[in-house]
Chain A
Amino acid sequence: MTAMCDVAFLLLTFFMLTSNFTKKEPVLVATPSSVSEIKIPETNVMTVLVDKTGKVYFGIDGKDNRQQLIQKMAEQYKVNLTPDEIKRYTLLDLAGNPMQVMKTFLDLRADVRDLPENNMGIPADSTNNEFKDWVKAARDINPDFRLAIKADEATPYPVIKKVMTSLQDLDENRYNLITKLEGAPGKE
């Protein structure tokens, strides 16, 4: 009994110390595979998530950063957010809604917030481009942020192109594409 208990707690300690929690993503995204073996850094990452239907989500690391980010965006888009709503935003890893509906979105119950109809995606078109403002605001908060794009493998290219052109306009020319590990080259 004692031995089993020891092992159990050893494992528990191991998992507690090594754990970094899975980020909660509003949509399930199947990333394409690649042979690249570079790992993504754990901190200072801003993540752009693109789902199959072309909705764009954006999120950055750290609660303090997120608080600054949402305050900046709220100010820019003249949206009045209560401290409670700001706090709710800081608890979200990724969010994808135009600022106009952000308030209503944050007022939703947590369990319905991930439903597809409640996530419209951040507009990233050439005419209406909130996405650029998000990236710009995040860049102002921390210039060391790495940009990571996580997109579904079935995402049509025009959506990716939109995101990439927006980033190019901001002079963000280096970024990471998140992929999953593929076996040895040659396997298809």
Chain B
Amino acid sequence: MAEISQDSGSHKKGGKKRSKKMSTRVDLTPMVDLGFLLITFFMLATTLIKPQTMEITMPSTKKVEEEDKTVAKASQAISLILAKDNSVYYYFGKTEGAKVIKTDYSSEGLRKMLLEKNYDVAKQVEDLKVEKAKVHMTEEDYQKKLSEIKANKNAPVVRIMATDDASYKNLVDALDEMNICSISRYAIVNFDAPDQDMMKAQFADNQLSK
């Protein structure tokens, strides 16, 4: 290799000086070129960041025995209705005679309401996080304590209902709020007749469809 480089180098015009100096060196330029070309290729073709995911568990459609069903107290229930144009409606308790309030997905809207409702749990989770940062706590302990806090029987239960006008983003946003507000009990349910009728009665048709 060295000889070849020297040989070809000495024949080049103006390369004489250089070839004399670097007589024992191999010309690495093409190899480096190739190296960088491959680097570029791998850099562009790879995904270093793995996508995030949200794990959700949907209620099973299988018939559940009556005594196995978890019955939520009306006082704990929050119903969210995801409607068009990124608006979200919510009400507390039973569907009949509920007062529906309109809000949005901002931190001042939905999140504020959920945090207020879930104040106890959210505060405990927050304290636990602070404690974890201060004291050296193993991940295992942290998870254990976290699930203890989240098992709180008095925490709100959220039903998420999406209308046909909602988009997938709305649904993910709503689920995300559940995570942020440490609400452990929530379900995505169908937007059915009682709620539809109630919404119709309270709002004009142009705001909601169906």
Contacts of B61 in A (CB 8 A): 168-169, 171
Q: Does A155 contact B (CB under 8 A)?
A: yes
Task: Evaluate contact between A179 and B51: CB separation under 8 angstroms.
Answer: yes
Q: How far is the CB of A176 from chain B (nearest CB, A)?
A: 4
Q: How far is the CB of B170 from chain A (nearest CB, A)?
A: 7
Please report the C-alpha to C-alpha distance between residue A19 and residue B48 in the assembled complex, in whole angstroms: 7
The B-contacting residues of A in range 143-173, CB under 8 angstroms, are 148, 150-161, 164, 167-169, 171, 173
Nearest A residue to B188 by beta-carbon distance? A164
Q: Does B64 contact A (CB under 8 A)?
A: no
Secondary structure call for the B interface: mixed
Task: Evaluate contact between A38 and B162: CB separation under 8 angstroms.
Answer: no
Q: Does A175 contact B (CB under 8 A)?
A: yes
Q: Does B133 contact A (CB under 8 A)?
A: no
A-contacting 9-mer, from B52-60, B140-148, B151-159, B197-205: B52-60
Contacts of B45 in A (CB 8 A): 19, 21-22
Task: Evaluate contact between A168 and B60: CB separation under 8 angstroms.
Answer: yes
Task: Evaluate contact between B46 and A151: CB separation under 8 angstroms.
Answer: no
Please report the C-alpha to C-alpha distance between residue A5 and residue B25 in the assembled complex, in whole angstroms: 14
Task: Evaluate contact between B57 and A178: CB separation under 8 angstroms.
Answer: no
Interface residues on B, range: 35 or more
Task: Evaluate contact between A160 and B171: CB separation under 8 angstroms.
Answer: yes
Q: Does A101 contact B (CB under 8 A)?
A: no
Q: Does B21 contact A (CB under 8 A)?
A: no
Q: Which of B39, B52, B54, B106 has the most CB of A within 10 A?
A: B52
Q: How many residues of A contact B (CB 8 A)?
A: 58
Q: Does A79 contact B (CB under 8 A)?
A: no
Q: Does B134 contact A (CB under 8 A)?
A: no
Contacts of A108 in B (CB 8 A): none
Please report the C-alpha to C-alpha distance between residue A175 and residue B163 in the assembled complex, in whole angstroms: 22
Q: Does A20 contact B (CB under 8 A)?
A: yes
Q: How far is the CB of A39 from chain B (nearest CB, A)?
A: 5
Please report the C-alpha to C-alpha distance between residue A176 and residue B46 in the assembled complex, in whole angstroms: 22
Q: Does B107 contact A (CB under 8 A)?
A: yes
Q: How far is the CB of B202 from chain A (nearest CB, A)?
A: 21
Nearest B residue to A8 by beta-carbon distance? B35
Please report the C-alpha to C-alpha distance between residue A19 and residue B50 in the assembled complex, in whole angstroms: 11
Please report the C-alpha to C-alpha distance between residue A18 and residue B45 in the assembled complex, in whole angstroms: 11
7 contacts between A and B (CB under 8 A): A4-B32, A5-B28, A34-B179, A157-B162, A180-B52, A182-B176, A188-B106
Give residues in B with beta carbon < 8 Å to A: 25, 28-29, 31-32, 35-36, 38-39, 42-43, 45-62, 82, 105-107, 111, 162-173, 175-176, 179-180, 188, 190
